[in-house]
Amino acid sequence: MKAFTKKVYGGPEVLQLEEVAKPVVKDQHILVKVMANSANPADWHILRGKPLFARLSFGLFKPKKPILGADFAGIVEDVGNGVEDYKVGDHVFGEMLGGGAFAEFASVPVKVCAKMPVNVKFANMAGVPIAGLTAYQALIIHGKLTKGESVLINGASGGVGHFAVQIAKIYGAKVTAICSNKNVDFVKSIGADNVIAYDNVNIHEHDGNYDVIIDTHGNLKHADYKRMGKRGVIVGFTTMSHMVAVLFKNTLSKFPLTQFTAEANTQDLEILASLVKDNKIKVHIEKIYPYTQIPDAITHIEKMRTRGKVVVDWNWKEG
Ligand SMILES: NC(=O)c1ccc[n+]([C@@H]2O[C@H](COP(=O)([O-])OP(=O)(O)OC[C@H]3O[C@@H](n4cnc5c(N)ncnc54)[C@H](OP(=O)(O)O)[C@@H]3O)[C@@H](O)[C@H]2O)c1
């Protein structure tokens, strides 16, 4: 089968499209014929082995796992021992944070998959896993958002942010979104009640008042959380030193601030699938790349200016 592999840490240029052995389905796994992926910042972090402490998990001197890629949507090709809920032909989506999804086939643990809603495109569901799970868990599990509360979402136009705006509205929150000028109309169109363009307003001087602050961009300071919020959730980071400084300051304060890594699980994926099925959340796709251009999709996402999601199509027909 075809797969994008990496033998050393580096930029998108170290990725190679190779013929590798098709995986054999493991126990409690399903073998998925991948139809679409999406690209996430996690892909380039893992590809580059940055921040350096990530190498403790992904390989100290060189990558442990050759195949990159986390988010996928596809068709069940085979089921492993102990799998009861899936059959050959089911349409599924999910997240393999350890890698393996930028390939024609992937053996995936069932606990990080869910069935796709009918009549939804693979490209759309491939855009959901990491960004959708992160938005949902940031707001509902870590942010403990309740109906009628106000939420400030920094980085509201990106993969995580555009799901966060939509999910917060579904849960009955009043949403203030922060993005660049070029994305103001976009975040309004997905439901934001108020929008702050960071090109015009210095967010570190903004004196709004919110129940929950979700920072997907990762440039908010500890003083910003304390000045504007009652609870805070750190999702992204601009630099490790900035995030460590915010968390260190928080050890000296009683402010309820959480930093977390999203967890893939069937239950939360099913919630997201149902929201997509009911048309309550829409996956905005900025660009679809053919699978041969996965390195370009990574370059695109690495700029950190994506509106919605960047998706990869494994069924791309030239011309
Ligand atoms: N904790 C977790 O488990 C977890 C999971 C997923 C992602 N993340 C992290 O969350 C971050 C966002 O991920 P993503 O997938 O949403 O990335 P993304 O799709 O690339 O979106 C990045 C967004 O950041 C916005 N942005 C850029 N500069 C900004 C600024 N100065 N102020 C506010 N927003 C700004 C951009 O909007 P404009 O173009 O309008 O500027 C863009 O929409 C990344 O750091 C990623 O590593 C963490």
pLDDT confidence of residue 306: 98
pLDDT confidence of residue 308: 98
pLDDT confidence of residue 54: 87
Same domain, 229 and 150: yes
Considering the domain boundaries, does residue 319 fall inside one?
Answer: no
Same domain, 154 and 253: yes
* C-alpha to C-alpha distance for 70 and 48, rounded to whole angstroms: 15
Same domain, 118 and 148: no
Same domain, 98 and 152: no
Helix (H) or strand (E) holding 71: strand 71-79
Buried b / exposed e over 74-94, threshold 16 CB at 10 Å, is bbbbbbbeebeebeeebbbbb
- pTM across the whole model: 0.97
pLDDT confidence of residue 199: 97
Regions in the chain scoring below 70 on pLDDT: 318-319
Same domain, 166 and 212: yes
Give the CATH number for residue 169: 3.40.50.720
Domain range spanning residue 224?
131-259
pLDDT confidence of residue 316: 77
Alpha-helical (H) ranges within 229-306 are 240-251, 266-277, 294-302
CA separation (Å) from 100 to 30, 73, 103, 145?
A: 13, 13, 7, 34
Considering the domain boundaries, does residue 278 fall inside one?
Answer: no
Same domain, 76 and 150: no
pLDDT confidence of residue 317: 72
Same domain, 162 and 79: no
Domain count, the chain: 2
Considering the domain boundaries, does residue 105 fall inside one?
Answer: yes
Ligand 1 first shell, C-beta below 6 A: 40-41, 130-131, 134, 154-155, 157-161, 178-180, 183, 198, 216-219, 235-237, 260-262, 301, 304-307
For ligand 1, atom 20, name the residue with the nearest CA. Answer: 304
pLDDT confidence of residue 318: 62
State the closest ligand 1 atom to the C-alpha of 307, by its place in the atom list counted from 1.
43
Same domain, 77 and 148: no
* C-alpha to C-alpha distance for 172 and 189, rounded to whole angstroms: 17
Q: Output the CA 181–ligand 1 centroid distance in Å.
A: 15
Give the CATH number for residue 8: 3.90.180.10
Same domain, 20 and 88: yes
Considering the domain boundaries, does residue 318 fall inside one?
Answer: no
